[in-house]
Structure 1
């Protein structure tokens, strides 16, 4: 199993657009086999720090997920 945690901070004026971009790829992920990976996004209390938590069954699944066009655009 592959586990990844990514944390980053955006400018306050970009929060809404960032959330919208995240929702796009999360919606596209729903077309994939959800039993093979997990992807969650959290916003810290400061409202501008995002944490992406993901785990994948294997590298093949990870590559499939991360190559979804909306994710690559993100």
Structure 2
């Protein structure tokens, strides 16, 4: 699943560790979500949405909804 988490985190000048602390997860979990190696549980996705004051579907995109890279 594609996500905008790295961009949102950087906009706020938070490290992965700072974001992890705010979410109550490990830095490794944040890294795995950001790199697409792990899809968050629904409760964690909702917590992320609330933290950024955004709907979950504007942070996490299904593969067919993600913008295509320029070829």
Q: TM-score, normalised by structure 1?
A: 0.34
Q: Choose between structure 1 and 2: higher helix proportion.
A: 2
Q: TM-score, normalised by structure 2?
A: 0.35
Q: Choose between structure 1 and 2: higher strand proportion.
A: 1
Q: Which protein has the larger Cα radius of gyration, Structure 1 or Structure 2? A: 1
